[in-house]
Amino acid sequence: MLSIINQNAKRLGALNRREIMRAGGLSLFGLTMPELLRAAGQNPKDGIERRPARAKSVILFNLLGGPSHLDMFDMKPNAPSEIRGEFKPISTSLSGLQICEHLPNTAKWMHKACLIRTISHTYNSHDPLAIMTGFTSADPKLQAQATDPPDIGAICQYVGLGPRDVPGSVCMPCYPGWGQEGYRRGGPYGGFLGSQFDPLFSLCSPNFAREPKVQNYDPVMPEGEPYLPGLKSQPDMSIERFGNRYSLLKQLGDAFRQASRSSSQDRLDKFQQRAFDLLTSSKTRDAFDLSQEPDHVRDRYGRNLYGASMLIARRLVEVGVPFVSVHQEIFKHYGHAYDMHSNNFSMLKNINLPVLDMVYPALIQDLDERGLLDSTLVIVMGEMGRSPRINASAGRDHWPQCGFSLLTGGGVKPGMVYGDTDKDAAYPTSNPVHPSELVATIYHLLGIDPHLIVRDPLGRPHPIARGGEPVLELLS
């Protein structure tokens, strides 16, 4: 039970170390604050070369499950029906490029995008580990491991990107796997660098308008908004219950201002001090408050969990968060996201493509109008592609050998299509891109040396991009 200072019983100026540590341990961000910020005192950035950065922030929209590249961005209209599928291609704003007919709004922005058609690897897992770390040698049957390499967000925090009063990395609407009874998928973690480099994980409580007619393959849209732990439910208070979700922060803020004039503050080390500053900062809380957005903006993104998440992602970028990931989660039996072993075309047409065709154009337009697109790299992709041949259940199966990544803004070359595939989109025929090369390119755009070495607890050296080299042809 959290003990909150009773102003009638104690002088706020007498705030002591234990009370502040209790406040820090509350962790409104779903993390232990002093541990999250302990990294700043380890001085990992000392001696690290900071290069010119084209991107100040990255937003990754992970289409969890493996989006079908053949039915979206690498269509083969001349292939046999069992390969080409049901959808027709349409022209886009980029001359000579066609994409799926169910992405008409996305098609209007392809002149701004850089499309990689040849993401290729062998890691047959729905974990975003490969695309967030470049590591493809993990056991796909295992959950997230403490021995996993750190992801891009963790490295952003490790080298000290971004303002000190906001998190270095945020993951929404929940940690990947939460919707499937808490299965922690590898990817967005500090890994062997430690949990202090984990992202801020938001929470969600999605609602569903109906029960699916068929479990898993009749997807139902999740409604709701992501929120920060502690803002919708407070722990029990030993002295009083607060009247609204912000009163705790107000009391802590008042206590901090009193403590800043007392000698007790001098006894705080810099980790606890920054933890307290971050706990009482309003920037992150405000970014999650979508009531500040006009209705027409909310409608443009879509009144659903993913539209809300992407709008919050834009708001987080505005306050300087370097890395934001949004994951299209699988929630129990309400739909398998992009893992479409059955009913592939209906799942795409009725749910997945309309969601993507709303949130991606909304985000790009929003960033462009606000002058943030040039400094924000937006990535849309999944952990793999889907099999060229349609199976007996009208689905497509796992296919890590070939997939896509859609990059926009942040220093990539607009209006570019990189890589070619064979007649069935089964394998790259030119310019294959391994996830480690994609991750290296992201680091390069962020001004982080992709060859930077970090060490695991045994002292073994690991390059942060797993040996990948930036794909310089993608850069503007």
> Would you say residue 349 lies in a domain?
yes
The pLDDT assigned to 329 comes to 97
Does the pLDDT at position 244 exceed 50? no
Total structural domains in the chain?
Answer: 1
The pLDDT assigned to 427 comes to 98
- Provide mean pLDDT across the span 32-61: 64
Neighbours of 212 (CB within 10 A): 15
The pLDDT assigned to 47 comes to 52
The pLDDT assigned to 52 comes to 83
Does the pLDDT at position 246 exceed 60? no
Which DSSP category does 199 fall into?
Answer: P
> Would you say residue 30 lies in a domain?
no
The pLDDT assigned to 150 comes to 98
Rounded alpha-carbon distances, angstroms, from residue 435 to 275, 320, 337, 402, 407: 34, 26, 21, 11, 14
Q: How far apart are CA 455 and CA 42, in angstroms?
A: 13
> Would you say residue 277 lies in a domain?
no
Rounded alpha-carbon distances, angstroms, from residue 150 to 355, 417, 436, 471: 29, 29, 13, 21
pLDDT band at 229 (very low <50, low <70, confident <90, very high): confident
Q: Could you tell me what percent of the chain has a pLDDT over 70?
A: 79
Query: Each residue of 317-364: pLDDT tens digit?
Result: 999 999 999 999 999 999 999 999 999 999 999 999 999 999 999 999
- Provide mean pLDDT across the span 66-72: 98
The pLDDT assigned to 51 comes to 73
As a residue count, the chain comes to 476
Give me the sheet containing 376-381, strands edge to edge.
200-201, 169-172, 323-327, 57-62, 376-381, 403-408, 113-119, 416-418
Domain, as residue range, for 216: 56-228+291-474
The pLDDT assigned to 251 comes to 53
Q: How far apart are CA 300 and CA 337, in angstroms?
A: 22
Q: What is the pTM of this model?
A: 0.84
Query: Each residue of 178-201: pLDDT tens digit?
Result: 999 889 999 999 999 999 999 999
More confident residue, 218 or 230: 218
> Would you say residue 465 lies in a domain?
yes
Q: Which residue has the tokens 């050296």?
A: 461
The pLDDT assigned to 44 comes to 52
Q: What is the mean pLDDT of the chain?
A: 85
SS3 109: coil
CATH of the domain at 94: 3.40.720.10
Cβ contacts of 405 within 8 Å, gap of 6 or more: 115, 116, 119, 131, 379, 380, 381, 433, 438
- Provide mean pLDDT across the span 57-68: 98
